[in-house]
Amino acid sequence: MASLALTTAPCSSPLISLRSRLPPPKSSVIRDGNRCAYRPIITPLTISDRSGLGNLRPLISSNSLFKVAKSGSIFTVKASAPGSATSPVVPATQKPWQGAAIKPLLASIATGIIVWFVPVPSGVTQNAWQLLSIFLATIVGIITQPLPLGAVALLGLGACVLTKTLTFAAAFSGFGDPIPWLIALAFFFARGFIKTGLGNRIAYQFVSLFGSSSLGLGYSLVFSEALLAPAIPSVSARAGGIFLPLVKSLCVACGSNVGDGTEHKLGSWLMLTCFQTSVISSAMFLTAMAANPLSATLTFNTIQKTIGWTDWAKAAIVPGLVSLIVVPFLLYLIYPPTVKSSPDAPKLAKEKLEKMGPMSTNEIVMSGTLLLTVGLWIFGGMLNVDAVTAAIVGLSILLVSGVVTWKECLGESVAWDTLTWFAALIAMAGYLNKYGLIAWFSQTVVKFVGGLGLSWQLSFGILVLLYFYSHYFFASGAAHIGAMFTAFLSVASALGTPPYFGAMVLAFLSNLMGGLTHYGIGSAPVFYGANYVPLGKWWGYGFLISVVNIIIWLGIGGVWWKFIGLW
C-alpha cells in the first residue's frame, strides 16, 4: 500500500507537499477557493497528518476525486466522481452508541411488566402492586445499570407518574427528605477537605502513625469512627461528612485513584471496610443512628419496657467489638488491597508533612468549619439544630469564604446523581408503606411463622431473617423500623420470645441490615459514590458480611446476652 503524507495549507501556500515511498503519482490539482482537489493515480491511499493526530483511510478509486480541508487540527476528506458534485464518503469510524445498554434495559422493563400482570394478592391494592412492579424494575435497573443510576431512577419516577401510580408531588417527594441532601452536602464537604489540602495533611498524619501496613491503617479508621459514634447520631454525617473525605485523601496519598487502574491498591478495600463497619458502630449505641431512638420508642409502646442508653451499650459492646475486629480482617482476606505492607510509608508521610509547611488560611477555615459542624451534630439536639441544617451552615461558611465555590459544587456530578437516585428510592419505598404493601407483607409473615408450630428460638430465627433481608425493599432504616418493627416484635413475643430480648435484637439488626445495598442506610450512597467498588461486588460482599454479622451477633452476642440476663 502506498503511503501518502499530507501537509495542508491554503492552495497558494508553498507548504503543500505530496510524498510517497513509491514513485510519485501523477496528479492534477483543481483550485476551489481555499480548498484543493487532487486526482491521484495510485490507490488505495493512507492519508495521515504529520502532527500524529490519527489516520484517515478512505477507499479512493483511480477515477475519484478527494478534497482535503483543514479546520484547526481536524482533517475533512470528501470524495466525488469526476465531473459530479461532491458527496461524502462513509466515515471510517462510527460514533459509539450513547444511549442505554439494551439488554440490561430490557431485563429491567421485563421485570416490571411481569410483576405488573401477576394477579394482585388478596389484601393488596392495585396501586400498591403496580408501585411494587415499578420499584422492582428500578432496582433491577440500578443493579444492571443500563444508564447511570440517576437516569434509571428518573425513568422509574417517570413510569410512576405516567401510569398514574403516583402523582408528580408524591413521586418527587423524596427530594424533600433531609437525608439525600445531607448525603449531597457530604460530597461538597469532601471537595473542600481535599481542595484545601487539609485532607492530605490529616491523611499523612494517619500514615505516619499507622501506615506501615494497610491493615493497621484500616483499623485506625474503623476504631476512630466507632469512638465518634455515640456522640454523632447521624451515620450519614459521621461516615459521610467526616470519614469519607479522610478516606479519599488517604487513598490518593497512597496512590490509589479512581479510573486509572489503581483502585485496588488501597481504595477498594478501605472504602468497603469503612462503610461496613459504620453500620456496626451505628448498632453499638442508642445515639449512634438517628432511627435508634425510634426503635426504643416502639419497644416501649409495644411491650412497655424502656431501652436505656447504658442497657443498649452493654448489650451491644461485645458482639460489636467482635464484628469491628472480624469484618475488616475478613474483607482483607477476600477483597485484599494489592499494597499490604509499606514500611517506608510513615517516613515518606513525615517528609510530605514537612514540605506542606504550616496550615494555610483555607485549611484553617476548613478546620474551623468542620469543628463547628461536628459540634452542631453532637449538641444539635440541645440546640434544636438537626444534622442537615448543621451541614448547610457549614457549607454556607465554605461558600462565603471562597474555600469552596458554587461552581465546584455544581461540578460534583456524583453528588447530584446520588441525590437523584436516593431520593427516588426513598419516595417509592415510602409509598409502598403508605399503600399498605409492607403491612400486608408483615401480616403474611406473621401468619406463616405462627402456623409452623416451632419453638420460640426457631420461630424468632425465621422472623429475624425475614425482617433483616426485607431491607432490600427499603432505602431508609427509619422507614423499615416504622413499617415492620412493631409487627415483628408483637409476633415474636406472642410466640414465646422474651420481649425485651426480641426488641434488642431487632433494634441491633435494624442497623446491620443497612450494609446489604448501596442505598440501605445513609452512609451507603456516600461511600459507593466514591466509585472505588463496582456495584456487583458491593452487593455481593454486602450479603456475605450480613451473614457474618448475623452469626456474630446472634451467636457470640446470644451467649453474652444470656450471661447478662437478657434472656
Per-residue model confidence as pLDDT tens for the chain (567 residues): 444 444 444 444 443 444 444 455 444 444 444 444 444 444 444 444 443 434 444 444 444 444 444 444 444 444 444 444 555 555 556 788 888 889 989 999 999 999 999 999 988 999 999 999 998 898 888 878 899 888 998 999 999 999 999 999 999 998 988 878 887 887 888 788 778 888 778 777 877 888 788 898 889 888 888 888 887 767 877 887 778 888 888 888 788 888 888 999 988 999 999 999 999 999 999 888 878 887 888 888 888 888 888 889 999 999 999 999 999 999 999 999 998 887 777 887 788 888 888 999 999 999 899 889 888 877 877 888 888 888 899 999 999 999 999 999 999 888 898 888 888 888 887 888 889 887 887 778 777 887 787 888 898 999 999 999 989 988 778 778 877 887 788 888 888 889 999 999 999 999 999 999 998 888 888 899 889 999 999 999 999 999 999 999 999 999 999 999 888
For residues 64 and 56, give the distance between their C-alpha atoms in angstroms, rounded to a whole number: 16
Under DSSP, is residue 218 helix (H, G, I), strand (E, B) or coil? helix
Q: Give the per-residue SS3 of 119-133.
A: CCCCCCCHHHHHHHH
Burial of residue 394 (number of CB atoms within 10 Å: 0-12, 13-18, 19+): buried
Q: Which sign, positive or negative, has the C-alpha torsion 39, 40, 44, 48?
A: negative
Q: What is the pLDDT of residue 339?
A: 84
- Which residues, in sequence order, are CB contacts of 293 under 8 Å at separation 6+? 286, 287
Report which DSSP code applies to 78.
E
Instruction: Give the pLDDT confidence score for residue 90 in this predicted structure.
Output: 53
Nearest to 268 by CA among 284, 285, 248, 288: 248
Q: Tell me, what's the pLDDT at 91?
A: 57
Q: How far is CA 173 from the centre of its chain?
A: 21
Report how far residue 321's alpha carbon sits from residue 81's, in angstroms, rounded to the nearest whole number: 80
Q: Tell me the residue ranges of DSSP E strands in 240-368.
A: none
Q: Which amino acid is at 14?
A: P
pLDDT of residue 89: 56
pLDDT tens for 133-160 read 998 898 888 878 899 888 998 999 999 9
What gap in Å lies between CA 276 and CA 523, rounded to an integer? 9
**C-alpha cell of 363?**
485549611
pLDDT value, residue 68: 46
Average of per-residue pLDDT values in the chain: 80
CA–CA gap between residue 26 and residue 62 (Å, rounded)? 11
d(CA 514, CA 475): 9
Burial 52-87 (b: 16+ CB within 10 A, else e): eeeebebebeeebbbbbebeeeebebbbbeeeeeee
**pTM (2 d.p.):** 0.66
